[in-house]
Structure 1
Amino acid sequence: MKIETIAIHAGNKKDESSKAVIQPIILSTTFERGIDGDFPGGHIYSRSSNPNRASLENVLAQLECGADAASFSSGNAAGMSVFQSLPTGTHIIAPDDMYHGLRNQLKNLFVGILTFDFIDVNNTDVLQQYIKPETGLIWIETPSNPLLKITDIKKIVAVAKTRGIKVVCDNTFATPICQQPLALGADLVMHSATKYFGGHSDLMGGALITAEKSEWWQKIRQVQEMGGAIPSPTDCYYLARSIKTLPYRVKGHVQNAQLLAEFLEQHPMVERVLYPGLPSHPQYAIAKEQMLAFGGMLSFIVKGDENDTHNIINKLNLFTRATSLGGVESLIEHRATVEGPDTKTPRNLLRVSVGLEHIDDLIADLKQALA
């Protein structure tokens, strides 16, 4: 099936008793055992499994062309489950432009348990220098947050496989509509489902999708069940519902982002636009080769200082000053403020989650704010 069909059908199961076309929300925390002590419905206890979660995980796995998927209460919970599944002392290589929430997890929660280095993973020579005998995982994020760096997934996988190292790709910015890391050789894909999967800024979730049901994947599943950082049946229902429109929503986000990036690149008040769909992007050739579309996120650097960036966003009417991304509404954020004192993000950078408003209205709003 094509991805639009998968998005609609793989996350839904018709109710056999009522013949309801749309799967109902099953709120029960526990499930009846059969007379032989077995569980004829396939579920024991909702922390372990739930019908709505099973449907959500089925569509997630199929969208990423994976063997299985595990859903979580947030993207951070999904990422943490990967780190928790690793043996003590494992060394992780992560990108220097990594989502600050997961970077802070490693720096604040896993010190003394895991070791890690944040480097330019695109530089193969540097990457090779940082690989140690205890290196067990290379974490990549492409496009990255907030600098929109593109990592050559195939190149990283080629280096990792010669050393028996696992590769995890944070695919949140791209979604499976724009990029499919498992098809490029990654072992695991991670998503903050709060973003484009949810798509309406009203629920939280996270997901991991695996290329194969390996021993490592079973360990991650164990962390999911025993740790209990799972989404509620209601969240699973609404995520599966939102995913039905994901392919068409993302197409709109991509189209608007491309046009907005082209407008900003020509504006005299803009120093630089960071968007992989622009030929001026330093990794444009890589993005063009490995991405199906260039995504709905962009950042731009203002000609001025931090005060100038705040003055611009305070003049905007359609772009909401808020964190997060992937909703139908356009958001804008001074990213360095969010990331804290150790941020490497330029103080005059603004990150934009391009929504589904009419592009003429978005351009007009930015034009008056930049005037």
Structure 2
Amino acid sequence: MKNFSNYTDYDKKDNLHFESKAVHGALGTEPLTGAVSMPIFQAVTYRHPALGESTGFAYSRLENPTRQELERTMAILEGGIKAFAFSSGQAANMAVFSLLNPGDHVLLSDDIYGGTFRIIGDVFGKYGIEHTYVEMDDLDAVKAAIKPNTKMFFVETPTNPMMKVADIQALSEIAKSVGALMVVDNTFLTPYFQNPLKLGADIVTHSSTKYLGGHNDTLSGIVVVKDNEEIAEKIHVHIKSHGSQLAPMDCWLLLRGIKTLPVRMDRHNENAKKVAEWLRTQPKVKKFTMLDLRITKIMRQPSNRREALEV
């Protein structure tokens, strides 16, 4: 079928800084009208030009121009081949865990987000998926927890809520040595501060409701696949079959939020430092938890310093 869509061509912008990628997105401007802000395409169905010809879009559960721009933008920012926009972070994680089969075993961070606890325990547990929680910053403990049927490492770093930090590169090497997928929940640092795919991870997930959106007005999730076309296709089949894709309006809100991501994350970091300085002077505070974001220019990887809060 001949495709007349101008949406098929886009620049991955490898020559641009992160800040420029976030502002311009995948297309830069909407190709049919020249709009510099991606329009909200609310249409569910699309009219083909003629028999055997297509605009590249047929039904919005399968493809939508606004969602496609968001997904391509996130693939660019994380450095993957394909991204998928979901109706929530929980929906995104559901898609990742659907890669497992009955009898498979997954290792998870011990201080993982509560919703992920429920997914793997209450939902996938009854389908025969085994799981073990482990302190991911203890590599010996991780190695000891591996089983012959371990097929996935699911690492949240830093964790929610205790801000535990894991060595993504070291864990990725361990996962690959046993033939397991390495999945990193990058919600708290975003691709601005941390690039798990560059450190060896196979898949990145986000609750984009939080820092990527940034305005408390969109419930959303993201999955980015590094370079495995087969895995990307499995996620694609999942999202179009389960109907868990993100709606056009929410996609637009997320695109808007991403434009200011670098500025907001820098300010979050500076504000956190000031709060930490104040807490250190308070006699009623025994200790506090804070991730020290001393960022390197190349990998955007945080240092492994962490302090705990106890009032």
Instruction: Report the TM-score when normalising by structure 1.
Output: 0.74
Calculate the aligned-residue CA RMSD, in Å.
Answer: 2.3
Partner of 1:65: 79
Aligned-pair distance for 1:292?
4.3
Aligned-pair distance for 1:290?
6.4
Letter matched to residue 301 of structure 1: E
Partner of 1:74: 88
Partner of 2:59: 45
Contact 1:48 1:225 in 2 (8 A): yes
Gaps of 5+ in 2: 1-15
Letter matched to residue 94 of structure 2: M
Matches within 5 A, 1:1-371: 1-11=16-26, 14-39=29-54, 41-113=55-127, 114-277=129-292, 291-292=300-301, 300-302=309-311
SS at match of 1:275: strand
Alpha-carbon distance in structure 2 between the residues aligned to 1:147 and 1:223: 31
Aligned-pair distance for 1:300?
2.4
Alpha-carbon distance in structure 1 between the residues aligned to 2:166 and 2:130: 22
Aligned-pair distance for 1:127?
1.2
What percent of counterpart residues are identical?
Answer: 37
Aligned-pair distance for 1:150?
0.5
| Count of equivalent residues | 293
SS at match of 1:267: coil
Deviations along 1:25-49, one digit per CA (max 9) or x if unpaired, are: 111001112323342x211110011
Aligned-pair distance for 1:217?
2.1
State the structure with bigger RCO (CA 8 A, min sep 6), 1 or 2: 2
Partner of 2:3: none
Gaps of 5+ in 1: 279-283, 303-371
Letter matched to residue 270 of structure 1: V
Aligned-pair distance for 1:161?
1.1
Distance 1:22 1:289, change over 3 A: closer
Question: For structure 1, which segment, 42-51 or 8-17, has the greater mean C-alpha deviation from structure 2 after superposition?
Answer: 8-17
Deviations along 1:66-123, one digit per CA (max 9) or x if unpaired, are: 1111110000000011111222221000011000101111111111321101111222
Deviations along 1:298-352, one digit per CA (max 9) or x if unpaired, are: 97211xxxxxxxxxxxxxxxxxxxxxxxxxxxxxxxxxxxxxxxxxxxxxxxxxx
SS at match of 1:27: coil
Alpha-carbon distance in structure 1 between the residues aligned to 2:213 and 2:158: 19
Distance 1:298 1:174, change over 3 A: farther
Aligned-pair distance for 1:12?
5.2
Contact 2:198 2:299 in 1 (8 A): no
